[in-house]
């Protein structure tokens, strides 16, 4: 297993789901900092060091971006498109976690090279379990891409 402390970026606008996710991760075997973005714009600001995150050290990349699709301001598919379209974030591991049952959302996410697409369960018990499984897989089993060298 890989021992890492790269943070997870949770892009989720629902405060209940945010709280449940944080609780689930706290109770799991992984100990990682979680950064929360409440909408698509905040997620992009974090990833590109703009807005509230201006000046952030971009070499510190999240081990995982967990991305909801239905988001205020910039929706999840647009966030995914922007991250895949930028050299700095093209290889960033991203998992879409959404209540959407639309096959077109799955297909478009895969066409935009999402690493994985997971349906968000309705019950809080199952949601807890799914968050834990996602966190453990991506932060202990999966090996993320090497940190890119960025010119200052």
Partner 1 sequence: MHKTILLVEDNADDELLTRRALERNRIYSEVVVARDGVEALDYLFCTGEHAGRDPADLPELVLLDLNLPRIDGIEVLRRLRSDPRTALLPVVVLTTPTEPADVASSYEQFANSYVRKPVAFGDFMEVVRKLGLYWLILNVVPTGGEPR
Q: Which residues bind partner 1 (CB under 8 A)?
A: 1-2, 90-91, 93, 103-104, 106-107, 110-111, 113, 115-119, 130, 133-134, 136-137, 141-146
What is the token pair recorded at 134?
């996602």
Residues 124 and 20: beta-carbon distance below 8 Å: yes
Q: How far is the CB of 9 from partner 1 (least distance, A)?
A: 17
Q: How far is the CB of 150 from partner 1 (least distance, A)?
A: 14
Tell me whether residue 39 or residue 135 sits nearer to partner 1 (CB atom): 135
Q: How far is the CB of 144 from partner 1 (least distance, A)?
A: 8
Q: In 3D, which of 138, 71, 78, 68 has the Cα closest to residue 99?
A: 68
Q: In 3D, which of 72, 152, 84, 75 has the Cα closest to residue 115?
A: 84
Q: How far is the CB of 131 from partner 1 (least distance, A)?
A: 11
End-to-end CA distance of the chain, in Å? 32
Q: Is 138 helix (H, G, I), strand (E, B) or coil?
A: helix
Tell me whether residue 2 or residue 50 sits nearer to partner 1 (CB atom): 2
Q: How far is the CB of 43 from partner 1 (least distance, A)?
A: 19
Tell me whether residue 55 or residue 146 sits nearer to partner 1 (CB atom): 146
10 Å CB burial of residue 54 (0-12, 13-18, 19+) is exposed
Tell me whether residue 5 or residue 111 sits nearer to partner 1 (CB atom): 111
Residues 61 and 91: beta-carbon distance below 8 Å: no
Tell me whether residue 74 or residue 106 sits nearer to partner 1 (CB atom): 106
């Amino acid at each position: 297993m890989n021992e890492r402390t790269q943070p997870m970026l949770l892009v989720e606008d629902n405060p209940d789901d945010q709280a449940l996710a944080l609780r689930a991760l706290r109770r799991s075997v992984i100990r990682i900092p979680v950064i929360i973005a409440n909408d698509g714009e905040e997620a992009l600001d974090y990833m590109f060091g703009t807005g509230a995150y201006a000046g952030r050290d971009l070499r510190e990349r999240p081990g995982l971006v967990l991305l909801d699709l239905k988001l205020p301001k910039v929706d999840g598919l647009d966030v995914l498109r922007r991250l895949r379209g930028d050299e700095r974030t093209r290889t960033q591991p991203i998992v879409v976690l959404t209540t959407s049952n639309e096959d077109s959302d799955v297909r478009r996410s895969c066409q935009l090279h999402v690493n994985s697409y997971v349906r968000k369960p309705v019950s809080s018990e199952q949601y807890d379990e799914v968050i834990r499984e996602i966190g453990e897989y991506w932060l202990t089993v999966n090996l993320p891409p090497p940190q890119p060298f960025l010119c200052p």
